[in-house]
Amino acid sequence: MRALRGLPVEHTPVWFMRQAGRSLSEYRAVRARANLFEIVRSPALAAEVTIAPVTRLGVDAAILFSDITVPLAAVGIELEIVPGVGPVIAQPFREPADLGRLRSFEPERDAPYVGDTVRLLVHELEVPVIGFAGGPFTLASYLIEGGPSKTHARTRALMYSHPDLFRDLLAALAGIALASLRAQALAGASALQLFDSWVGVLDPGSYSRNVLPATVSIFDGLRDLDVPTVYFGVGTGELLGRMGTAGSDAVGIDWRVPMEAARARLPSGLAVQGNLDPVVCLAPWDVVRERALRVLRQAGPAGHVFNLGHGVLPETDPETLRRLVDLVHGYGYGQGHLTEPLVRS
């Protein structure tokens, strides 16, 4: 929490996006008995898979086990998570009238299991719990495309053809994200991350006109809670300066942008999170180590939360992640200057 706020820390903290996923045998064992939504809707199972990577890897934070599509399902959008594919929506949004299918989200009524899981985790864990929600562009893309897309062509076509409708849709989705994030914070989450994973497909002007206002409304709506926030997307190199004005405390950086460049593009005072290429974790340890040290050196001693540039790949060896946690923790600071790492692994 201190690192997200840019305050001095003893060592750079570390967690991994998708740390509670298929790379862990503990997760695969639970998943063999229950599907993703069954896990999410069972506080005991969701807490078990959330805690597994904290125990196994020694990370400094837990991220609630859920999915960005959970609030959509909770307001009645029929969807399925297809293994190896992603979220698939039964009836994609194709007409103006479809907007009427998005009702407002009341977390404690529509998805009480989320708050219950967060409360259970806060009770069981010593490390902070990170809550999260899907960003408005990413959720709009799943709704409009009907599933994952490489080009997000239908989504961008709607944005160009019917900008008012598109902005109304994003405003509605921002309302859902805000309600979801507030409920998680009120249940005890210590930090919140907005995953607008696919927003990097937009040019800066389209982003500023069509996505930034909805995003600002989310971070504005969280301010009274005084919970630190992270704003993350993939392929956002050209958008970082603008994303940095949305109102979050930190911005998540993917692996394409060197940390020094990310810092230069962001307004000063913002913290950064990231940004080791997840694929590096499939390389020999010496390479992982060298690349991780480069991230640490470039990000500098303050206002950095170490993470990957995107989620852990299922084929990642958890032992590599565990050694990475040790490496980050062993990397000390003397009077504000990086010293040689105290390698323990």
d(CA 270, CA 22): 32
Q: In terms of C-beta density within 10 A (0-12 exposed, 13-18 middle, 19 or more buried), how is residue 322 classed? A: middle
For strands 333-334 and 337-338, give the pairing. Answer: antiparallel
Helix (H, G, I), strand (E, B) or coil at 272: strand
Is 22 assigned a catalytic role? yes
d(CA 305, CA 50): 19
* Chain residues 193-232 in contact with ligand CP3, contact rule CB under 6 A: 195, 197
Q: Is the peptide bond before 275 cis (omega within 30 degrees of 0)?
A: yes
From 27, 41, 60, 67, the catalytic residue? 67
For the chain, how many residues are written? 345
d(CA 8, CA 18): 27
Nearest distance from C-beta of residue 343 to ligand CP3, angstroms: 27
Contact pick of 3, 4, 9, 20 for ligand CP3 (by CB under 6 A):
20
Is 156 assigned a catalytic role? no
* Chain residues 115-134 in contact with ligand CP3, contact rule CB under 6 A: 132
Nearest distance from C-beta of residue 197 to ligand CP3, angstroms: 3
Q: Computed over its alpha carbons, how large is the radius of gyration of the chain? A: 19
CB nearer to ligand CP3: pick between 8 and 314: 314
Residue 95 CB neighbour total at 10 angstroms: 8
Which residues does 173 contact at the CB level (< 8 Å), separation at least 6? 102, 134, 136, 139, 140, 214
From 22, 119, 154, 209, the catalytic residue? 22
Is 142 assigned a catalytic role? yes
* Chain residues 57-116 in contact with ligand CP3, contact rule CB under 6 A: 63, 65, 67-68, 81, 83-87
Is 297 assigned a catalytic role? no
CB nearer to ligand CP3: pick between 6 and 199: 199
Nearest distance from C-beta of residue 22 to ligand CP3, angstroms: 6
Contact pick of 3, 4, 6, 31 for ligand CP3 (by CB under 6 A):
31
CB nearer to ligand CP3: pick between 17 and 331: 17
> Which amino acid, 301?
P
At 127, list the tokens. 């490390």
DSSP state of 14: B
Contact pick of 9, 12, 13, 19 for ligand CP3 (by CB under 6 A):
19
Is 18 assigned a catalytic role? yes
Nearest distance from C-beta of residue 253 to ligand CP3, angstroms: 13
* 32 part of the interface to ligand CP3, by CB under 6 A: no
CB nearer to ligand CP3: pick between 105 and 331: 105
CB of 253 within 8 A of CB of 274? yes
Candidates 15-23, 221-229, 272-280, 293-301; binding stretch for ligand CP3 (CB under 6 A): 15-23
CB nearer to ligand CP3: pick between 55 and 339: 55
Q: Which of 100, 107, 75 is nearest to 179 (CA)?
A: 107
* Chain residues 295-324 in contact with ligand CP3, contact rule CB under 6 A: 311
Identify the residue whose tokens are 């698939």. 88
Which residues are known to be catalytic? Answer: 18, 22, 31, 67, 142
Interface ranges with ligand CP3 (CB under 6 A): 17-22, 31, 36, 63, 65, 67-68, 81, 83-87, 132, 138, 195, 197, 311
